[in-house]
Amino acid sequence: MPIFNALETPPPGESPRKPQHPLERAPQPPPGSGSPGGSRINLRIPTVRPNVTYVLIVINVAIFIARALSFDLDRLLLEWGANNPVLVLQQGEFYRLLSSMFLHASIYSSNGELALTNSLHLVFNMLALYSVGGEIERFFGHTRFALVYILGGLAGSVASAVLNSPAVNSIGASGAVFAILAAEVVFIYKHRRLFGATGRIRLQNTLILIGMNLLFGLLSNAGSALGRIDNWAHMGGALGGALLAWFITPWFNLRRHPENPADLLAEDTNPLKKRYGAVSVYFCALLLVLIGARLLATS
């Protein structure tokens, strides 16, 4: 359970312009604590171990290693699982929307020779998943995090299938990683007063990271018919992750810590069980987009 010293007191005499979330109101210290008005206090937030993040990393790495053992198996899995607009929308192979999220650039070149630099695709995605996903899962919990990763990643896959050229074969966990990055933006924004200056720096850095990756993708694909970076998957994943996180992100309320009265304990007032309706609407919206695109592609 981490302790944060980031709850800031508004300047004396300042009146809020809109109703404040409980985290935006600086609570007074308990009687006899000796704290003068309490401009900063300790806040304890219950967290979980990011087991889902670790499992996702193991699955992605295991698939990559299995493909590296055989060039024929590598080609077979790529042909079977890559996301392609024609195969998804016209042939109805919808499983590719999910399977492509667990495939990365091959360690082999097209003629069967080793191309070790291709492994950077996996390395960068897994590093981002480990650093950002691990932190988000600690606060979101296992199920909420898994929903953002999978459903956000599916939004990226749907965007890729609907908006890309028919010749594009897309693979990689980037869409899901962008969903997690966007979820972090939403989480920190909703609790910007809670995390104070540290949170504002993290929010700014995450937004810059998202912007730089999108810009790099656009520049790297300039003048290329097929492209090397699936920007539609990135943007779809970011949008899907942000929308989903806006409704299911933890929303903390404060109470005195039962064992340490000088500290505060954060409690989630937006449990997932209250938001299954929003998750269902999100999933149905993805299905409607997919069904509409299929009807257009097969008409």
Order of all β-strands in the sheet with 264-268:
3-4, 43-44, 264-268, 252-256
Whole-number pLDDT of residue 36: 46
Q: Choose the catalytic residue: 174, 191, 220, 299.
A: 174
The DSSP string of 189-209 is HHTHHHHHHHHHHHHHHHHHH
* Regions of the chain where pLDDT drops below 50: 1-12, 14-16, 18-39, 225-227
Q: Is 257 a catalytic residue?
A: no
Q: How many residues does the chain have?
A: 299
Per DSSP, the three-state class of 26 is: coil
User: For position 139, what pLDDT does the model report?
Assistant: 93
Residues 176-225: tens digit of each pLDDT? 999 999 999 999 999 888 788 888 898 998 999 899 888 887 777 665 54
Output the six-digit token pair for 117.
Answer: 């630099």
Q: Which domains does the chain have, with CATH numbers?
A: 51-251+270-298 (1.20.1540.10)
Residue 101 φ/ψ, nearest 5 degrees: -70, -15
Supply the pLDDT for residue 142: 96
Which residue in the list 220, 234, 280, 299 is annotated as catalytic?
A: 234
- Residue that the structure tokens 């028919």 belong to: 166
Any catalytic annotation for residue 234? yes
Residue 4 β-bridge partners: 43
What pLDDT score was predicted for residue 85? Answer: 96
The total of other beta-carbon atoms located within 10 Å of residue 179's CB is 33
